[in-house]
Structure 1
């Protein structure tokens, strides 16, 4: 088994993160894992980081991020659905470094108490996904990192996927230096993983 990023291990074509135990990181259930297996060079989640996670959902990916940032890191997981956040709370109950937040990520002022973070991760399949991310950039430290799992068909179900990717990258480039983009096929259809840094 080989460590390929901070806290991320690979054996054959399988990925793992290590909390109290080694946990398999399934690329069909977690978009960062899909990006890494597709050759991502800049996976910038690291030990000790403070992370704002938009779209925490059922807790699969955030749980792996928790393993990576470790005890000295912290992750604020924003989820809009009260039903889903109950499942999230149940899944991450033993993870002391995850703070679930029941809020709409369109209104970052409602969780402004979190302060500045090193990294914002967004996985929100909504038409206004880019705008939501830009509203949350207020939390980023200088040269802070963004990771986005972009679902093209959520933005526009009719237009060409690559055209949507181009437009989104152009829009994000106004505020962020785009470091890397990775298509998530075959694990996720019509998804692009984007890594950027505040200008």
Structure 2
């Protein structure tokens, strides 16, 4: 009898989770023009409208629907996509948005943000590691006119000579023990008042001896004097021991 009740409870839980997923997908599909749910291989998958038609960045699948080309957005390759899949509530990236992106790596996520902000938007992409910076330049920046590459250490925001004006969003994905302090320093210099910070917290880069949840909470406490915390998301199963914090800056 107990086993039967547990089975029913599990079935109900699965039904509820499926309903939530369907509701979220419908809502995003109807209300969001920044990213899309495109049917591929029998299921709906996350995608952005390709700014550079025919161009791939990381061998992602290109799909054309009604004359428009879309790039599938892999949540196992992009933490922003993982956040969307895990229930991201605030998505401030829009057509014409200005973004400062710290830690662009080889350019997977920034390329999708480039699709979203469009030709009238601007992304300042900061990368310090020379090898990945070359890949980023070759694969992404040379093809996308709305990306301004900055080959500089994110710890030295005063040396970003290419950045002009304040930005709408700061997105931070760097593997450093002081990543939160770096993010805060960059926001104080370049983020508009009430602008958004997306901070990827790589817990194992901060401290391998503490539980990941404790590290995330400690980093959030560091942010609170300058930010209103909007949402915190665990990025499992797409990334292990990673979280993303979405916050709003008050200068």
Larger Rg: 2
Runs of 4+ in structure 1 over 3 Å off: 3-6
Counterpart selection for 2:180 from 94, 108, 130? 130
DSSP 3-state at the match of 1:114? coil
RMSD (CA atoms): 1.4
Asked whether 1:147 is paired with 2:198, we answer: yes
Alignment partner for residue 96 of structure 1, among 145, 159, 163? Answer: 145
Indicate whether 1:56 and 2:107 are aligned: no
* Residues 1-199 of structure 1 aligned to structure 2 (within 5 Å): 2=29, 5-11=32-38, 12-19=43-50, 20=53, 21-92=69-140, 93-115=142-164, 116-137=166-187, 138-199=189-250
Q: TM-score, normalised by structure 1?
A: 0.95
| TM-score relative to the length of structure 2 | 0.76
Distance in 2 of aligned mates of 1:38 and 1:14: 13
| Cα separation, 1, equivalents of 2:92 and 2:45 | 19
Alpha carbons of structure 1 residues 175 and 123: separation in structure 2 relative to 1, 3 Å:
same
Name stretches of at least 5 consecutive residues in structure 2 with no aligned partner: 1-25, 54-68
Counterpart-to-counterpart distance in 1, 2:30 and 2:186: 31
Shift of 1:110: 0.5
Structure 1 equivalent of residue 9 of structure 2: none
Q: Is the 8 A contact 1:5 1:43 kept in 2?
A: no
Unaligned ranges ≥5, structure 1: none
Alignment length (residue pairs)? 199
Contact in 2 for aligned 1:6/1:47 (Cα 8 Å) = no
